[in-house]
A and B are shown apart, each in its own frame.
Chain A
Amino acid sequence: MEQMSRILKIEELSVYYGQICAIKRINMEVFEGEIVTLIGSNGAGKSTLINTIIGLQKATKGKITFMNEDITKVSTDKVIKRGISVVPEGRGMLASMTVLENLQLGAYHKKNVIEQNLEKVYERFPILYDRRLQKAGTLSGGEQQMLAISRAIMGDPKLILLDEPSLALSPAYVDKIFKILVELKKEGMTILLSEQNAKKALQYSDRGYVLDLGETVLDGKSSDLAGNPAVRSAYLGAD
């Protein structure tokens, strides 16, 4: 990878909850236009890492650089304004608001692009147009995930973070969601996702990091990780 195309760099990042270490000296890089996946079991530190990147969780040590700017201590709303958007675990729907209002909030910091991006979203997901005046909380799980991803792209981000996008979705919707991510990648977006469904995540991503108890234990091309006996045994259900 060329140095110029690096969009996110994490150096020696550690996060502690009191005395408990959630993330220990993690180093990571994400380059423009790729899908990078974080895999690991519950408690591996995947969500903590995503929350730390967007400033919801304070880093104890280390540095996070986005587009060559240090964002380690930048507040969440300012991180979002710099071009990172997030699809949180559980989708983060504003259930009492309509689909349209959720989408409008996705571009809260970029109000001049709302109309044109709404058109793009409705073109991509016609179901969201049909349901634009419906409360977000009344959508099915798959539709909510579509809405969450659409809301994340409403503000024209440079990097999208997704925390467990396949959680509680039917297999058909899991495939649909990953195909949407591949489409977004083809359009030039960069994606970092955390996922317990390692098989799907490695199938659709370019590179991956395997986290265990807050540490990076493996990293590399997704195809290599999928063939790694340790990964196959621990996360892919192979003997």
Chain B
Amino acid sequence: MSTALSYFIIFCCVFIILTWAAYVPFRAGLLYNGTVYCMAIGGYFAALASKTWHWPFWVCIIGAIVVGAILGFIPALGFSRTSGIVTAVSSMALIFIIQSVIRNIDILGAGRGISGIPKIENLVLYSLILVLIVAVFIFRLDHSRLGRAFEAVQTDPDMAATLGVNVKIISVLGLTISSALGAVAGAIYAFNMRIIYPETFGFSLLLSVMTMLFVGGRYTQWGMFISVPLLWGINKWIPSSLAIYAQIIYGVILIVILMARPEGLVTRKMVAGVGRVFVRK
């Protein structure tokens, strides 16, 4: 497999998991923009653990999940008291905070970042395995008691409360799960790039993730398999002379899809239709 192709596959895995990290809070009715913050935490933790402490890949991933979940849980306690646009705007602040913190901590390489992250053999395979694990996890979550509570909270938080659902606990759980997933994406990203900078985790990345979520379809977990290769590979699909306009193309695609197909490319109806075909067989 060529290096370019392995990079492409690994980045697709990173963004599929990252987009799922954005999907989970959305399922619970939260407009959460902290996925990039969690990705930075996972990425820096994996970089530090593998380079300084010589932890093996899978231990770094588990560590990133734990640290991401803990550092996602703390702000989640505050965000569980907010809703709608307040959550969206206040969670964006996490991006400023994490970038600023990283720039001022020497052990994290400050503005220089961390380079020389150990190379992982079979990273393509490991990334695909992680996508599979997370896919199964999200599927089980969506079809569980907790998933139904997420859906009820998304539809109407007061209605959900009258069914005995503790809306705050659901919000905290959703954000914590999202943070853990974001951290996994960050860890794979760090191993793929082998160098990590604070500038990576900015608004441009947030825009990419949100575009992938909304274009793919934010009501199912499957749209990411279309939107991520399509949008991440945008530089490959468009003529090289237009590559500098990639961000503009992102924005235009997002607007056009939202206007023409508000639920995104993959809708629940489509998924239900496919499901029925398999059930019949």
Residues of chain A at the chain B interface (Cβ within 8 Å)? 54-56, 75-77, 80-81, 85-86, 88, 92, 94-97, 101, 104-106, 108-109, 111, 151, 155
- Is the beta-carbon distance between B161 and A97 smaller than 8 angstroms? no
Distance, CA A96 to CA B267, complexed state (A): 12
Complex A-B: 12 CB contacts under 8 Å: A56-B161, A56-B162, A76-B158, A80-B164, A94-B156, A96-B151, A96-B268, A97-B152, A101-B148, A101-B151, A105-B152, A108-B148
Chain A residues closer than 8 Å to B151, beta-carbon distance: 94, 96-97, 101
* Residue in B148, B155, B162 whose CB lies within 8 Å of A86: B162
The verdict on B9 contacting chain A, using a C-beta distance below 8 Å, is: no
A92-B156, A94-B152, A96-B155 given; A104·B145 CB < 8 A: yes
Q: Can you name the residue of chain A whose Cβ is closest to the Cβ of B146?
A: A108
| Most interface-central of A55, A56, A75, A108 (chain B CB within 10 A) | A108
- Is the beta-carbon distance between B145 and A109 smaller than 8 angstroms? no
The verdict on B165 contacting chain A, using a C-beta distance below 8 Å, is: yes
Q: Can you name the residue of chain A whose Cβ is closest to the Cβ of B276?
A: A133
The verdict on B248 contacting chain A, using a C-beta distance below 8 Å, is: no
The verdict on B149 contacting chain A, using a C-beta distance below 8 Å, is: yes
A108-B145, A108-B163 given; A56·B152 CB < 8 A: no
* Residue in B155, B158, B164, B268 whose CB lies within 8 Å of A108: B164
- Is the beta-carbon distance between A56 and B158 smaller than 8 angstroms? yes
Distance, CA A77 to CA B170, complexed state (A): 12
- Is the beta-carbon distance between B161 and A77 smaller than 8 angstroms? yes
A97-B151, A104-B148, A105-B149 given; A92·B164 CB < 8 A: no
A76-B161, A88-B162, A108-B164 given; A94·B149 CB < 8 A: no
Distance, CA A152 to CA B62, complexed state (A): 42
* Residue in B149, B159, B165 whose CB lies within 8 Å of A92: B159
Distance, CA A81 to CA B161, complexed state (A): 10
Chain B residues closer than 8 Å to A86, beta-carbon distance: 162
Residues of chain B at the chain A interface (Cβ within 8 Å)? 145, 148-149, 151-152, 155-156, 158-159, 161-167, 268
B156 to chain A, nearest CB (A): 7
Chain B residues closer than 8 Å to A105, beta-carbon distance: 148-149, 152, 163, 165
- Is the beta-carbon distance between A88 and B159 smaller than 8 angstroms? yes
A92-B156, A94-B155 given; A76·B162 CB < 8 A: yes
Q: Can you name the residue of chain B whose Cβ is closest to the Cβ of A54?
A: B162
- Is the beta-carbon distance between B148 and A77 smaller than 8 angstroms? no
Distance, CA A155 to CA B166, complexed state (A): 15
B191 to chain A, nearest CB (A): 39
- Is the beta-carbon distance between B165 and A77 smaller than 8 angstroms? yes
Distance, CA A104 to CA B158, complexed state (A): 18
Distance, CA A88 to CA B155, complexed state (A): 15
Chain B residues closer than 8 Å to A54, beta-carbon distance: 162
Distance, CA A151 to CA B164, complexed state (A): 12
Chain A residues closer than 8 Å to B152, beta-carbon distance: 94, 97, 105
Q: Can you name the residue of chain A whose Cβ is closest to the Cβ of B149?
A: A108
B78 to chain A, nearest CB (A): 18
Distance, CA A46 to CA B145, complexed state (A): 32
- Is the beta-carbon distance between A77 and B167 smaller than 8 angstroms? yes
Chain B residues closer than 8 Å to A92, beta-carbon distance: 156, 159, 162
Distance, CA A96 to CA B158, complexed state (A): 16
A105-B148, A105-B152 given; A75·B161 CB < 8 A: yes
- Is the beta-carbon distance between B148 and A80 smaller than 8 angstroms? no
A164 to chain B, nearest CB (A): 15
- Is the beta-carbon distance between A81 and B164 smaller than 8 angstroms? yes
A96-B151, A101-B148, A105-B148 given; A77·B166 CB < 8 A: yes
- Is the beta-carbon distance between B148 and A97 smaller than 8 angstroms? yes
B28 to chain A, nearest CB (A): 14
Chain A residues closer than 8 Å to B159, beta-carbon distance: 88, 92, 94
Q: Can you name the residue of chain B whose Cβ is closest to the Cβ of A110?
A: B164
Distance, CA A80 to CA B148, complexed state (A): 17
Distance, CA A196 to CA B149, complexed state (A): 32
Q: Can you name the residue of chain B whose Cβ is closest to the Cβ of A111?
A: B145
B70 to chain A, nearest CB (A): 25
Distance, CA A56 to CA B163, complexed state (A): 12
The 4 closest A-B pairs by CB, nearest first: A109-B164, A76-B161, A80-B164, A77-B166
Chain B residues closer than 8 Å to A88, beta-carbon distance: 159, 162
Distance, CA A54 to CA B158, complexed state (A): 11
If A80-B164, A94-B159, A105-B152 are given as contacts, then 19 extra A-B residue pairs at C-beta distance below 8 Å, sorted by A number, are: A55-B161, A75-B166, A76-B162, A77-B165, A77-B166, A77-B167, A80-B161, A80-B163, A88-B162, A92-B156, A94-B156, A96-B151, A97-B148, A101-B148, A104-B148, A108-B145, A108-B164, A108-B165, A151-B163
Chain B residues closer than 8 Å to A56, beta-carbon distance: 158, 161-162
